[in-house]
Amino acid sequence: MRRRLIDASPLSPEEARTAWREGHGDHPLDRYLKTGRIPHIWCPGCGIGIAFTAFVKALEKSGASVDKTVVVSGIGCSGRAAGYLNLDTYHTTHGRAIPFATGLKLARPELNVVVFSGDGDLFAIGGNHTIHAARRNVDMTVICVNNFNYGMTGGQGGPTTPVGARTTTTPYGCAEHPFNLIHMAGAAGAVYVARWTVLHTHEMRDSFDEAMKKHGFSFVEVISPCPTGYVRRNKLGTPLDLMKYYRDNSYLSDTLDPDETALSFNSRIAVGKFVDRERPTFMDMYNEWIVSRAGESEEKGQT
Ligand code: SF4
């Protein structure tokens, strides 16, 4: 019996790709992917791949030049997304995706700069960078996949773990208040703030597209299951159960104040676009206050 199971082992990744192409031809999104790196590392039932696909579809929909789009990620399961994209991408150190992306945008303002990372990377280790990039209104798009724990490192509690939720570091239930990412991003100064679950594939795609076209710091939170960590420890069922949960418990409410969008353990999930406004970006301010005034001073012979 064991012998037969070994004989029936699945195709190698290369054989699987060849078989797919022979049967179906190239996938229309292949040109955005480093197909040689697939299969990806994400667990079965993980939502990151859905958010990743929505992002690739947003790239296609937006017509953004692949030569002018750069994706930066930090550390964690979501941070692995950068490695699968056939663009210029950077997989940076923990929490440092946003300062890296900021430097990139300042040096090459014509680039479409996107950060794709997770809740722990962006709001714990990199929390300070996130709020200050929003305050400065640096022109970039930040996509944050929020699965309420540190999936890659073993399912520890993080800055979005709800009160009472079990993780490897909160076995009796989390005793800390979580961040509401929507409220934080909006209060810090983001000009575009939205939230979707991985069930909202079309809305996510359209929101990523809109966020990339926005002039300024745009932020999209994606609520996603981590079946290996958070979902299993909290006995929330199968990945399909989570999708049904998102279907039955998310509600569209663009008119809610960001302060009213907080999530708690197994709460209903407000989705939609909560902030859409205009503010001068960091480069606008820099050009107005530094470049033009320094030029005037030089003309007057001042230092
Ligand atoms: Fe996804 Fe969790 Fe697996 Fe990471 S550990 S790939 S977040 S399911």
Predicted local confidence at residue 9, as pLDDT: 53
pLDDT digits 0-9 by tens, 69-111: 999 999 999 999 999 999 999 999 999 999 999 999 999 999 9
One-letter amino acid for residue 220 of the chain: V
Residue identifier of the C-alpha nearest atom 2 of ligand 1: 226
pTM value > 0.75? yes
Query: What is residue 36's DSSP assignment?
Result: G
Ramachandran assignment for 117, one of left (phi > 0), alpha (psi -120 to 50 degrees), beta (any other): beta
- Which residue, among 153, 138, 51, 38, has the nearest Cα to 97 in the 3D structure? 138
The answer to whether residue 4 scores a pLDDT higher than 50 is: no
pLDDT digits 0-9 by tens, 232-277: 999 999 999 999 999 999 999 988 999 999 999 999 999 999 999 9
Per DSSP bridges, beta strands 192-197 and 140-146 are: unpaired
One-letter amino acid for residue 37 of the chain: R
Q: Ligand 1 mean position to 226 CA, how many Å?
A: 5
Predicted local confidence at residue 114, as pLDDT: 98
Q: Which residue has the higher pLDDT, 164 or 66?
A: 164
Per DSSP bridges, beta strands 217-223 and 112-118 are: unpaired
Q: What percent of the chain has pLDDT over 70?
A: 94
Using DSSP's 3-state secondary structure scheme, residue 235 falls into coil
Q: Ligand 1 mean position to 261 CA, how many Å?
A: 25
Using DSSP's 3-state secondary structure scheme, residue 182 falls into helix
Q: Is the minimum distance from the CB of 226 to ligand 1 under 6 angstroms?
A: yes
Q: What percent of the chain has pLDDT over 90?
A: 81
Best residue among 144, 152, 161, 236 to mutate for probing ligand 1's pocket (most ligand atoms within 8 Å of CB) is 152
Residue identifier of the C-alpha nearest atom 5 of ligand 1: 151
pLDDT digits 0-9 by tens, 171-191: 999 999 999 999 999 999 999
Q: Which residue has the higher pLDDT, 198 or 10?
A: 198
Beta-sheet strand order (sheet of 269-276): 88-91, 69-73, 112-118, 140-146, 217-223, 192-197, 269-276, 250-252
Q: Ligand 1 mean position to 139 CA, how many Å?
A: 29
One-letter amino acid for residue 42 of the chain: W
Q: Ligand 1 mean position to 242 CA, how many Å?
A: 14
Q: Ligand 1 mean position to 39 CA, how many Å?
A: 14
Q: Is the minimum distance from the CB of 117 to ligand 1 under 6 angstroms?
A: no
Best residue among 41, 50, 52, 77 to mutate for probing ligand 1's pocket (most ligand atoms within 8 Å of CB) is 77
How many whole angstroms separate alpha carbon 152 and alpha carbon 128?
Answer: 22
One-letter amino acid for residue 230 of the chain: Y
How many whole angstroms separate alpha carbon 184 and alpha carbon 135?
Answer: 11
Best residue among 146, 147, 167 to mutate for probing ligand 1's pocket (most ligand atoms within 8 Å of CB) is 147
CA-CA-CA-CA dihedral for 122, 124, 125, 126, to nearest 10:
30
DSSP E strands in 139-249: the ranges are: 140-146, 192-197, 217-223
Q: Is the minimum distance from the CB of 75 to ligand 1 under 6 angstroms?
A: no
The answer to whether residue 229 scores a pLDDT higher than 60 is: yes
Q: Which atom of ligand 1 is nearest to the CA of 43?
A: 3
Q: Ligand 1 mean position to 48 CA, how many Å?
A: 8
Compute the chain's Rg from CA coordinates: 21
Run of H or E residues at 116: strand 112-118
> Are 167 and 230 a contacting pair, CB within 8 Å?
yes
How many whole angstroms separate alpha carbon 97 and alpha carbon 283?
Answer: 19
